[in-house]
Amino acid sequence: MKYIGPDFCNVFDGLSDEELLIQKTAHEFVKNEFLPLVVDAYNQGTFPKSLIPRMGELGFFGSTLPQKYGGNEISQLAYGLIMQELEKGDSGLRSFCSVQNGLVIYPIYQYGSQEQKDRWLPSLCSGETIGCFGLTESNHGSDPGGMKTKAVKDGDDWIISGSKMWITNGSIADIAIVWAKDEKGIVRGFILEKDMEGFSASDIHGKMSLRASITSELSMNNVRVPDSNRLPSVEGLKGPLSCLTQARFSIVWGTLGAAIDCYEIALKYSSDRVQFSKPISAFQLTQQKLTQMIQEITKAQLLSLQLSHLKENNQLDFSHISLGKLNNVDIARKCAKLSREILGANGIMEEYSIMRHLMNLETVSTYEGTHEIHTLIIGEKITGQSAF
The answer to whether 368 is a known catalytic residue is yes
Decide: 241 and 318 in contact? Cβ < 8 Å.
yes
The C-alpha angle 107, 225, 220, rounded to 5 degrees, equals: 90
Decide: 139 and 152 in contact? Cβ < 8 Å.
no
Q: Half-sphere exposure (CA, 13 Å, Cβ side) for 119? A: 11
Nearest Cα residue to 162 out of 177, 147, 175: 147
Three-state DSSP at 158 gives: strand
Three-state DSSP at 140 gives: strand
Residues 299, 335: Cα–Cα separation, whole Å: 13
Nearest Cα residue to 145 out of 378, 373, 382, 308: 373
Residues 6+ apart with CB under 8 A from 360: 90, 91, 92, 209, 210, 258
Pick the catalytic residue from 264, 296, 368, 372.
Answer: 368
Catalytic residue annotation: 368
